Amino acid sequence: MDTNPQPKKVAVCGGGVIGVCTAYFLSKNGASVTLIEQSSVACAASGKAGGFLALDWCDGGPVASLARASFNLHRSLAQELNGSESYGYRPLTTLSVSVTESSSSSSSSSNRAGPIPSWVDGPAKSPRTIGSTDSTAQVHPEMFTKTLLSKAMEDYGVELVIGKAERVEMADGKTRGVVLEDGREIGAEAVVLALGPWSKRFSVLGSLFRVYGIKAHSIVLEPKEANRITPHALFLTYYPAQGGKPMDPEVYPRPTGEVYICGMSAQAEVPDDPEQITPVPESINALKRVAATVSSHLVEGEAAVKAEQACILPCSEDDVPIIGEVPGIKGCYVATGHSCWGILNGPATGAAMAELVLDGHASIVDLSRFDPGRFASALKK
């Protein structure tokens, strides 16, 4: 990539999946990379997301080419890194199912038909296959992120620094590095800001665009009879017993024997520290009711509750990721705004960002649609 015998020094801010994928591909292609993380790697959405992957669910929209490239990269990374063993990569069958919660204690199955797996023994109806093992898959997102970083550190020399990045150091309109809150300076010819919903912390970004947060809740259960749970992801239309609008929770069995259930999302303020994100008890209780209604294997007592958690997903104003060089600041790049598809789109975002930083353009995917400059143009109008 770079003909300069001295490897290009790059600082990547943010130890989530986007930052780690960027650090991985930069270092693999010869850059000298320092990864800066405030708290711990994959401590926010990258550690608490579902890890669902889809080849073609973004088709017809601006993210289609990114999603397709990234789905295929996930497959090749799983082969390279033994993903099935190291971070729970596996293809899935994905179903859409309608579930109506009963007001009584009984939730026996009725009108079960078609592809509904046997462990889904609650009142599930209208099953429809919406993803095959060719088009949908999963990873354990925290294990994926940490496996990728371990590989990058051990084989490609990435250095991990724990500290809060405070500002990008610039001189003559060019990036010179990152200054941390404690005064440390990380010298770099290029800086990549992969800060998710914390992007607004940097004035160079906050003055250009807004990234807001969607708080999503999840629980992780460990059924006693984990071997009964087949690899079927469920996208539910769930009608609560008390009426009201249907919910749209998702259920992901994992090869570890755990079952991840998520939903109950709403816009939320982003706390300064990722560790301060706490779940709303009512939302957790609602997800437990979903679990118990869907399957007798997921009722508390039949399944241990391993985690009750929440994370904040980064969303842009136009619902399109922001990936590219920051206007007016040579050598400063941003990658954020991936919403609920961050785990899916991490690899292609990281690979494209590495090409952009090292070559001046990305070939794996056309990044023009994601250019942060679109917001600068809007500000001038």
**Residue 53 has what pLDDT?**
98
* Residue 156 in tokens: 């490609």
pLDDT of residue 381: 47
Q: Among residues 358, 370, 282, which one has the least CA distance to residue 320?
A: 370
Contact 53, 250 (CB under 8 A): no
Whether 238 and 226 have beta carbons less than 8 Å apart is answered as: no
CA angle 278, 48, 141 (to 5 degrees): 165
User: How far is C-alpha 255 from the geometric centre of its chain's CA atoms?
Assistant: 19
pLDDT, position 28: 98
Structure tokens at 200: 């607004």
The reply to whether the predicted model has a pTM over 0.85 is yes
Do residues 31 and 10 lie in contact, with contact meaning Cβ atoms separated by under 8 Å? Answer: yes
Q: Selecting from 1.20.1300.10, 3.40.225.10, 3.40.50.300, 3.50.50.60, what CATH number does the domain 9-84+139-209+318-375 have? A: 3.50.50.60
Query: What residue spans define the domains of the chain?
Result: 9-84+139-209+318-375, 94-132+213-316
pLDDT category of residue 104 using cuts at 50, 70 and 90: low
Q: What is the pLDDT of residue 203?
A: 86
Q: If we measure between CA atoms, which residue out of 44, 39, 276 comes closest to residue 161?
A: 39
Strand, coil or helix: 104: coil
Contacts of 287 (CB under 8 A, 6+ apart): 217, 218, 219, 249, 261, 262, 263, 264
Each residue's pLDDT tens digit, 25-43: 999 999 999 999 999 999 9
Residue 136 tokens, joined: 């949908």
Is the CATH code 3.40.50 the one for domain 94-132+213-316?
A: no
Q: What are phi and psi of 308, to 5 degrees?
A: -130, 115
- Percent share of the chain, pLDDT over 70: 94
| pLDDT tens by residue, 247-276 | 999 999 999 999 999 998 999 999 988 888
Question: Which residues neighbour 115 within 8 Å (Cβ) at sequence distance 6 or greater?
Answer: 93, 95, 127, 129
Whether residue 178 is predicted with pLDDT greater than 90 in this model: the reply is yes
Exposure of 15 in the CB half-sphere (CA atoms within 13 A): 29
